[in-house]
Amino acid sequence: MTSSFAKCLVAALAVLFSSQALAQYTRDPLPSWNEGPAKQAILDFVARSTKEGGPDFVPFDDRVAVFDQDGTLWVEHPMYTQVLYCLSRVPAVVKEKPELKSKEPFKTVLSGDKEAMDKLALKDWEEIVVATMSGMSVDQFQDEVKAWLKTAKHPRWDRPYTELVYQPMLEAMAYLRMGANYKTYIVTGGGQDFVRVFSPLTYGIQPEQVVGSAEGTKYGYDKSGKPFLTKEPKLLLNDNFAGKPEGIHMMIGRRPYAAFGNSTGDQQMLEYTKAGKGARLGMLVLHDDAKREYAYGPARGLPDTKVGTFTQALHDEAKKQGWIVISMKDDWRRLFPFEPLPPQD
Amino acid sequence: MTSSFAKCLVAALAVLFSSQALAQYTRDPLPSWNEGPAKQAILDFVARSTKEGGPDFVPFDDRVAVFDQDGTLWVEHPMYTQVLYCLSRVPAVVKEKPELKSKEPFKTVLSGDKEAMDKLALKDWEEIVVATMSGMSVDQFQDEVKAWLKTAKHPRWDRPYTELVYQPMLEAMAYLRMGANYKTYIVTGGGQDFVRVFSPLTYGIQPEQVVGSAEGTKYGYDKSGKPFLTKEPKLLLNDNFAGKPEGIHMMIGRRPYAAFGNSTGDQQMLEYTKAGKGARLGMLVLHDDAKREYAYGPARGLPDTKVGTFTQALHDEAKKQGWIVISMKDDWRRLFPFEPLPPQD
């Protein structure tokens, strides 16, 4: 029982230490952001929503902020990381089911013909994702993803994908979480089970705070009678477009106060967030930095229904709705944690 | 920015105060439990799983404990509270859809003939639940449940249902949460949206920590263009039996270390919890207290498939698997928060 008290003391000390950590916020909680309307919008939102007695004060328990992942928290170009993972799994899947070898879209993937792969339809990609993300136990899937993430590298930076996360967004998440007591959730069109594997160490976000496209699982027993869950080829939640607010309701159960995205797939999540009363923050990352990352959006030339992208229509809607557009080029002083912070202008 | 520091100071003080609250745990964290194997099992589990450097130490982030609701956290007899709510909504539903008036099972419900209602099949009950829990906006549903809970009373105690929660379980939840840093989740076969309405004030459990049977929602816009979610008559997660570990994986993303239930509907959740390595706690509440509450279980005479109950087979399985049976009669000194704590024997 004395250990309870000791633990308390440790907790109290942790808070005191973290108050020292927070004290640096008296300098700048967002050092990788350039001064400007985007940075200011985050600071203002935190100030308004945490001002006790103020008209926009949000009670602790209600403080929820949601973040899209691909293109918002990490690099999504030239291809979604999860799609690369699924492609890497195709040979293993075909080995187990040889009948797929001569069947499309697996035949095209195995051929390695990039031009032919570019022509695959959304339906084909869905088939690849379903085939490579189901049929194994939940534990086996986690082990496979972990092993792949250790070796796979982005061709441009020659670094693991989990290092290609945006430092300014890590700072925004940490500030909302530690400086303002927001619960930070990832709300991704990507696979919930996939993102949960690396979210704790990559973003400081625990599995239960990752909402994503989710397949069902099936409960069963192994030969020794030990129960386990098998990933099923059955999509329960398609967490994109209108599926994002629907997923938020199911998994979190309340409307967020802040939402960050980068594509039409995030539009409904931003609408839903901003439709609430009081201080609400909606932000969209615009990839306009060909030098340090990529410039795409309308230029990417993919139809909205395929992946969701930053279209002109979304840009117009952002203006109309008061969503803040983050210019990667102008608003971010540095992009990745491994880059040094450049000197202030 | 000074406010950040002030907030920190407040947080530090809160921890110091809560350390005083925890100091009472040096006396007894579970005062409403009689000494015995059930109480001891909880104390031992906490001691083992929080002992730093011990073989069964569980890291903070992994600490998850799950609790069934009906019959585990509150009274489920003579009928599930949610079913009573649904029955109360039938007249309003029929008013909106008059064609249901002469259709079964609504006709029987409207007749008020209790004998005929007792004969309704599971399929009929499902139809009533679906009809009364869907078609309205999420906000409207919450308002309706809140209003009903304010006036509805249990006939035996003449008190609101939210007062008929088991004080010993509130203490167990609080001890796991505040004394041992466990995240406490409700994992109920009841409606997720229904339980989330009262769980914060009733159990100190926030909506995002309630996993339950969940209908889908549909995103749409009202006439003014404001987005809202409508509850759909489509079950996404049937959170009972094997659906409990499946729901836990989907909503929490990891295996719990402790699970509390009271019926065959909780069996798979207990199996799944106990199949993990290290210290794992599985407990089942046995309703054997006709004087203070009810005595049922095998005596209740309902088939397993209907509601799940504490069968002889479950009792045998508990023995085999090392799940601790909590005897309401012997293990609980008092049942409800409104009762005074009886003097120690």
Cβ within 8 Å of residue B52, ≥6 positions away = none
Structure tokens at B3: 């406010």
Cα separation, A200 vs A188, in Å, equals: 15
CA distance A97 to chain B (A): 26
Residues of B in contact with A272 (CB under 8 A): 219, 227, 229
Q: Are B141 and B207 spatial neighbours (Cβ–Cβ below 8 Å)?
A: no
Rg (CA), chain A: 21
- Is residue A304 scored above 60 in pLDDT? no
Confidence of residue A232 (pLDDT cuts 50, 70, 90): very high
Question: Do B8 and A22 count as a contact with CB atoms less than 8 A apart?
Answer: yes
The residues pairing with B259 across neighbouring beta strands, listed in sequence order, are B66, B282
Question: Do A246 and B227 count as a contact with CB atoms less than 8 A apart?
Answer: no
Cα separation, B227 vs B221, in Å, equals: 4
Core vs surface per residue B29-41: b (16+ CB within 10 A) or e = bbebbbeeebbeb
Q: What is the pTM of this model?
A: 0.91
Question: Which of B19, B218, B246 has its CB closest to that of A219?
Answer: B246
- Is residue A63 scored above 50 in pLDDT? yes
Look up the ipTM and state it: 0.90
Structure tokens at B141: 């549903």
Give the count of Cβ contacts less than 8 A between chain A and B: 143
Q: What average pLDDT does this structure show over B223-230?
A: 96
Q: Nearest chain B Cα to A28, which residue?
A: B1
- Is residue B307 scored above 80 in pLDDT? no
> Regarding predicted confidence, which is higher, B31 or B2?
B31
- Write down the pLDDT at residue A137: 97
Out of A301-310, B74-83, B291-300, pick the least confident: A301-310
Question: Do A138 and B249 count as a contact with CB atoms less than 8 A apart?
Answer: yes
Among B249, B235, B284, smallest CA distance to A230 is for B249
Mean pLDDT of chain A: 90
Report the relative pairing of strands B281-286 and B258-261 from DSSP bridges: parallel
Confidence of residue B221 (pLDDT cuts 50, 70, 90): very high
| pLDDT tens column, A167-201 | 999 999 999 999 999 999 999 999 999 999 999 99
Q: Are B278 and B58 spatial neighbours (Cβ–Cβ below 8 Å)?
A: yes
Question: Which of B11, B227, B253 has its CB closest to that of A210?
Answer: B253
CA distance B227 to chain A (A): 6
- Is residue B100 scored above 80 in pLDDT? yes
Q: Nearest chain B Cα to A179, which residue?
A: B4
Collapsing DSSP states into helix, strand and coil, what is residue B67? strand
Residues of B in contact with A179 (CB under 8 A): 4
Question: Which of B200, B206, B226 has its CB closest to that of A275?
Answer: B226
- Write down the pLDDT at residue A241: 95
Cα separation, A94 vs A85, in Å, equals: 15
- Write down the pLDDT at residue B299: 45
Question: Do A217 and B249 count as a contact with CB atoms less than 8 A apart?
Answer: yes
Question: Which of A15, A252, A271 has its CB closest to that of B227?
Answer: A271
Confidence of residue A13 (pLDDT cuts 50, 70, 90): low
CA-to-CA separations, A44 to A39, A61, A279, B140, B141, in angstroms, rounded: 9, 20, 9, 32, 33
Confidence of residue B249 (pLDDT cuts 50, 70, 90): very high
Angle at A185 between CA A23 and CA A188, to 5 degrees: 135
- Is residue A18 scored above 90 in pLDDT? no
Question: Do B25 and A4 count as a contact with CB atoms less than 8 A apart?
Answer: yes
Question: Do A11 and B15 count as a contact with CB atoms less than 8 A apart?
Answer: yes
Long-range contacts, B143-149 (Cβ 8 Å, 24+): B144/B89, B145/B85, B145/B194, B145/B197, B145/B198, B146/B197, B146/B198, B148/B85, B148/B88, B149/B197, B149/B198
Confidence of residue B298 (pLDDT cuts 50, 70, 90): low
| pLDDT tens column, B140-150 | 999 999 999 99
Residues of A in contact with B235 (CB under 8 A): none
The residues pairing with A66 across neighbouring beta strands, listed in sequence order, are A185, A259
Mean pLDDT of chain B: 90
Q: What average pLDDT does this structure show over A221-248?
A: 96
- Is residue B135 scored above 50 in pLDDT? yes
Structure tokens at A243: 């599926």
* B166: exposed, middle or buried (Cβ count in 10 Å: 0-12, 13-18, 19+): buried
